Amino acid sequence: MNKIKLIIVDDEKLIREGLKIILSTYEDIEVVTLCENGKEAFEFCRDNDVDVVLMDIRMEVCDGVLGTKLIKEVCDKTKILMLTTFKDSEYIEEALKNGASGYLLKDSSYDLIYGGIKAVYGGNIVVHPDIVSKLVVKEERAEGEKSIDELKKTTCLTDREIQIIVEIAKGLSNKEIGEVMYLTEGTIKNNITTILSKLSLRDRTQIAIFAFKNNLA
């Protein structure tokens, strides 16, 4: 069985050690190292194979937002799951824009954290229910809301592409979207490439943010 190579990044020793003890009990998780800040995590990811980074957002020296940016610039395949008590919407959205695949609160159950690790490893987006509304402030949503017809006109998106955006915001994988829409996984992948091009976005996470901003999710 291939284990998910995980690193834990937190400036509090008790938290990172505690997470290591608990997450190491799952058979498909291998905690390969512990880091105190985003810079240490970046340096380790640069020199080693890492599947998932479980990272705090507020740390001295190099916080999780900058750490995410640095890691994704050199290790695009490495998934980053933010884990924090901090609910500030700016930090949440900035981390996601920089390439983070998800955001969970530290008071989440260990099973939820484990499930989040598995989900981002599989290419999905994970956002804790309590902070979904933090992704977009009310003023931005009010300004960003458009009717479907207006959205199609301004973005040149097709009905199929809009439905795919909706399913991505639900956290579905390409395979799952294909099953829902009765299309092949390859067709879904090609459509997502077109969506990214039309909207000038980088990845699935930014598609999900687009969905929230435009009241599609």
Over residues 187-197, the pLDDT tens digits come to 999 999 999 99
pTM: 0.69
Output DSSP code: residue 158.
-
Q: Does residue 129 register a pLDDT over 80?
A: no
Mean pLDDT across 117-122: 92
**Pure H helices in 48-125:** 64-74, 89-97, 110-121
Cα 127 off chain centre by: 7
Q: What is the pLDDT of residue 2?
A: 86
Q: What is the pLDDT of residue 134?
A: 58
Grouping H, G, I as helix, E, B as strand and the rest as coil, residue 147 is coil
Q: What is the pLDDT of residue 210?
A: 85
Q: Does residue 143 register a pLDDT over 70?
A: no
Q: Classify domain 138-213 by CATH number.
A: 3.40.50.2300
Q: Are 214 and 175 a contacting pair, CB within 8 Å?
A: no
Residue-range domain boundaries for the chain: 4-135, 138-213
Q: What is the pLDDT of residue 142?
A: 47
Model confidence pLDDT, tens digit, residues 1-21? 689 999 999 999 999 999 999
CATH class for the region spanning 4-135: alpha beta
Percent of the chain exceeding pLDDT 70 equals 88
Q: What is the pLDDT of residue 139?
A: 44
Closest to 81 (Cα-Cα) out of 8, 24, 170: 8
Same fold, 4-135 and 138-213: yes
Burial 186-203, CB ≥16 within 10 A → b, else e: ebbeebbeebeeebebeb
Q: What is the pLDDT of residue 132?
A: 63
Model confidence pLDDT, tens digit, residues 32-61? 999 999 999 999 999 999 999 999 998 988
Q: What is the pLDDT of residue 136?
A: 52
Mean pLDDT across 136-149: 55
Q: Are 57 and 78 a contacting pair, CB within 8 Å?
A: no
